[in-house]
Structure 1
Amino acid sequence: MNVYKFGGASVKDAHAVKNVIKILGENSGNNKVVVISAMGKTTNDLEAVINSYYAENTDWSNLLNVVFTKHQTIIAELFGTENTDTETAVKHIIDKTADFLTQNSSRNYNFIYDQVVSIGEYISTTIVSYYANKMGLNNTLLDAKQCIFTDNAYTEGKIDWRKTEKELPEAVAPLLKSGFVITQGFVGCTPENFTTTLGREGSDYTAAIFSYALNAERMTVWKDVEGIMNADPKEFPEAQFISELSYHEAIEMTYYGASVIHPKTIKPIQNKNIPLEVRSFVNSAKRGSVISANANSNFLPPIIIKKKEQVLLSFTVKDFSFIAEDHLSILFSKFAEHRLRINMMQNQAISFSVAVDFKREKIDHVIDELAQDFSINRIEKLTLLTIRHYNEGIVNKLTSGKDILLRQISRTNLQVLLREV
């Protein structure tokens, strides 16, 4: 059993879809599950629909139709005059979404978000599945909601592992008799049968869940880079290829924000010692990188991770007393309540500072609810730079001339929160 994951860039247009089918044909056999993300920037387009709807702007229906039109173009290029069934299936998904938004009475943004943004994955898997069958690659389209179960934490669904591990193999096994399986990334199901999502870029995590529940021999993530790099090659053209990485090193990289793999991906496959390949869909003949228990991570280059759109929040007790355990307890519980992850923290005598992702609504709630007890300072548009296995040369190169607001250093990691100038 192998599990493949193809992200949005790998299916962004008709040419890209044909390339995915070529890769699947080269790696023939029924004993695989293929997890696919929304096409290209569809998630962004659907977020525009949601934001328009939530603002009570009637333009949301036009924006939703734009999503359909973009996919209609891809369908026409793939199927020509034989596109009727595929287009009808996609139009049905769009129409159901429009009906939901028309009839919906909830003002829960996260609930609305998950019901709408998830259709990107349903549309992409429909198109790829139909086209694979057209090209002679027999497959069955599986609704991920039938086998990935979560709680009600919309936009960040927490997996019900007991139920998922039991029902996922039962759903997949009979389908493999007639071909491989295609399913949606990013999507889960609540006890009430509503859709949840697993966090932005959560399709990697979906593939890891399938790998874990099916005891896969291998999981492969297909990317637009040749494998794991020590930095984002789009920002650092001199980025170096890393052929192998231990689970531990991969977890560290994803924890600090490396975008090559979703942060939650590693733990499920590590638990069952499943190797994870990162390969290029641009050059599928190349071996790529492997994350495994046996990898040698002793001689790695400096690993550079940049998280942009960071916000620095500094809390000072109003009576100028020392920041103590009771104050920290209040702060941490409030961040946990609003599911606002702390990326960096620093404690001083009378203040406590944290760097968090720019999530305006969550930050506003935290500030409003803590304003009675703390004086709060907020600085936006910052960058969090993390360098693992740093050396003096790379630190000087990346921080020289920058306005540094926070700095932390350990034996293996250096982090600075800075303002780009």
Structure 2
Amino acid sequence: MQVFKFGGASVKDAESVKNSAHIISNYKVDALLVVVSAMGKTTNLLEEVTKAYYHHTGKAFEILEKAKAFHFNILSDLFDDHNHPIFDEIANCFVEIEWILEEDPQDPFDYLFDQIVSTGELVSSKILAAYLHHIGEKSKWLDARNYIMTDNTYTEAQVNWEKTEEIIRTEIPSILDEYIAVTQGFIGSTSENFTTTLGREGSDYSAAIFASCLNAEYVTIWKDVPGVLNADPKWFEKTELIPELSYTDAIELTYYGATVIHPKTIKPLQNKNIQLNVRSFLNPETTGYKNQEHKCFTTCPILYL
């Protein structure tokens, strides 16, 4: 069993969605669960919506329209039939934000943030699942909020591992026998069914949570670079790939400044000795997989110092 995670850059436009879908088709090996982030800069845009709403600037609906237009443009490029059910599904997601905005804010900012910003992941995962089905893959959309149970610490929710593991192990394996499961990163749910978010690097963390609970063989995070580099290529012309890192080395590097893979993502994988790969969605054929005991990263994962 394997988990793929696609970040915002890998689904930032229609061509990127198509590319990610074809990677899923071409590189799936067995039972597969896909975790997807919000598209492009959607999280930032929905955060602006939340701030405008909470601070009564009068621009919340205007900013929300930008987010809606962005997603419907992608839908129009992906599906020739504009009567496809996915158009209504996405519209309904944004209607839920509009319902919030129609009333004066009564709740704390962090709570509102989670209810509004989480829509980005819900929308992107629905679009990817629909497109996979469109190209002939048996896909099933899953709501991560039905599986990742958390406390009420909005914007930095803590996972209730006992409940989460019980639900995931009970319900998801049978789905994976028939479908590619597509779900969201970054989000969970309280016992009262309020949406929560998991904080920094939340989508990678979600992939690790699902992988740990399902005893996955490995997790693959798809990035826009070929793997772990000894420096950030945005700042240095000459960089070298690091083929492998142990869990301990990876955590130590993040502690001293590496920012792409967060320690909270690594720990659940370390506990189950699950391999973490990072591959390029721009050149997916350039890397392969190797099993190395007690290795966190193989085949050139990305980790900037």
Could you say which residue in structure 2 is the equivalent of 1:37? 37
Residues 253, 70 of structure 1: CA spacing in aligned structure 2 closer, same or farther, 3 A cutoff? Answer: same
2:117 alignment partner in structure 1: 117
Instruction: Show CA shifts across 1:309-359 (max 9, x none).
Output: xxxxxxxxxxxxxxxxxxxxxxxxxxxxxxxxxxxxxxxxxxxxxxxxxxx
1:102 deviates by: 2.3
Moved more, 86-95 or 254-263: 254-263
Partner SS state of residue 102, structure 2: helix
Q: Give the drift of 1:288.
A: 6.4
1:256 Cα shift? 3.1
Q: Is the 8 A contact 1:247 1:266 kept in 2?
A: yes
C-alpha displacement at 1:87, in angstroms? 1.3
Q: Tell me the residue number matched to 2:74.
A: 74
1:53 and 2:53 matched: yes
Structure-to-structure mapping, 1:308-327, within 5 angstroms? none
RCO (CA 8 Å, sep 6+): is it higher in 1 or 2?
2
Q: What displacement does 1:281 show?
A: 0.4
What amino acid is aligned across from residue 4 of structure 1 in structure 2?
Answer: F
Distance in 2 (CA, whole Å) between partners of 1:292 and 1:155 is 35
Instruction: Output one character per residue of 1:5-33: Cα deviation in whole Å (capped at 9) or x when no partner.
Output: 00000000001011001101112455110
1:19 aligns with 2:29: no
Whether 2:188 is the aligned partner of 1:192: answer: no
Deviation at 1:120, TM superposition (A): 0.4
Q: Is the 8 A contact 1:211 1:218 kept in 2?
A: yes
SS in 2 for 1:80: coil
Residue equivalent to 2:300: none
d(CA) in 2 for partners of 1:246 and 1:291?
12
Q: What's the TM-score, normalizing by structure 2?
A: 0.93
- Output one character per residue of 1:115-142: Cα deviation in whole Å (capped at 9) or x when no partner: 1111000000010000000000111100
AA in 2 matched with 1:38: A
- 5 Å-filtered alignment, 1:134-149, equals 134-149=134-149
Name the SS for the 1:45 alignment partner.
Answer: helix
SS of match in other structure, 1:221 = strand
- Give, in whole Å, the separation in 2 of the partners of 1:291 and 1:105: 51
Question: Is the contact made by 2:53 and 2:105 (CA closer than 8 Å) also made in structure 1?
Answer: no
Q: Which amino acid aligns with 2:223?
A: K
* Aligned partners of 2:173 and 2:214 also within 8 Å: no
More strand by share: 1
1:96 is matched by which residue type in structure 2? E
* Alignment map for 1:6-405 (pairs within 5 Å): 6-28=6-28, 31-82=31-82, 84-103=84-103, 105-287=105-287, 293-295=293-295, 305=305
**Matches of 2:291 and 2:7 in 1, distance apart?**
18
8 Å CA contact 2:8, 2:37 repeated in 1: yes
More deviation, 76-85/153-162: 76-85
* Shift of residue 178, structure 1, vs aligned partner: 2.7
Q: Deviations over 1:81-113 (max 9, x none)?
A: 345311111110000111023246434111111
Opposite residue 40 of structure 2, the aligned amino acid is G
Q: Percent identity of the aligned residues?
A: 46
Q: Distance between the aligned counterparts of 2:304 and 2:45, measured in 1? A: 30
Do the aligned partners of 1:245 and 1:291 also contact (CA within 8 Å) in 2? no
Structure 2: unaligned runs, 5 residues or longer: 298-302
**Cα distance in 1, alignment partners of residues 225 and 143 from structure 2:** 29
**Which residue identity does 2:203 align to in structure 1?**
S
Work out which of the two has the higher radius of gyration on C-alpha atoms and give 1 or 2. 1
Which residue pairs with 1:412 in the alignment? none
Structure 2 letter corresponding to 1:157 = A
Cα gap change, 1:13 to 1:291, in 2 (>3 Å): farther
What secondary structure does 1:175 align onto?
helix
Gapped regions of structure 1 (runs ≥ 5): 298-302, 306-421
Q: Conserved in 1, the CA contact under 8 Å of 2:250 and 2:296?
A: no
Give the distance between the partners of 2:219 and 2:30, measured in 1 at CA: 15
Select the structure that is richer in helix: 2
Q: 1:82 to 1:30 in 2, by over 3 A?
A: farther
Q: Aligned letter for 1:172? A: I
Q: Is the 8 A contact 1:186 1:199 kept in 2?
A: yes
Count of aligned residue pairs for this structure pair: 300
Contact 1:222 1:280 in 2 (8 A): yes
Once structures 1 and 2 are overlaid, which stretch shifts more, 104-113 or 147-156?
Answer: 104-113
The one-letter amino acid paired with 2:187 is V
AA of the residue aligned to 1:200: R
Contact 2:122 2:184 in 1 (8 A): yes
| Contact 1:244 1:290 survives alignment (8 Å) | no
- The alpha-carbon deviation at position 171 of structure 1 amounts to 2.5
TM-score under structure 1 normalisation? 0.68
Query: Is contact 2:14-2:74 (8 Å) kept?
Result: yes
Separation in 2, partners of 1:12, 1:49: 19
Give the whole-Å Cα distance in 2 for the aligned partners of 1:76 and 1:61: 22
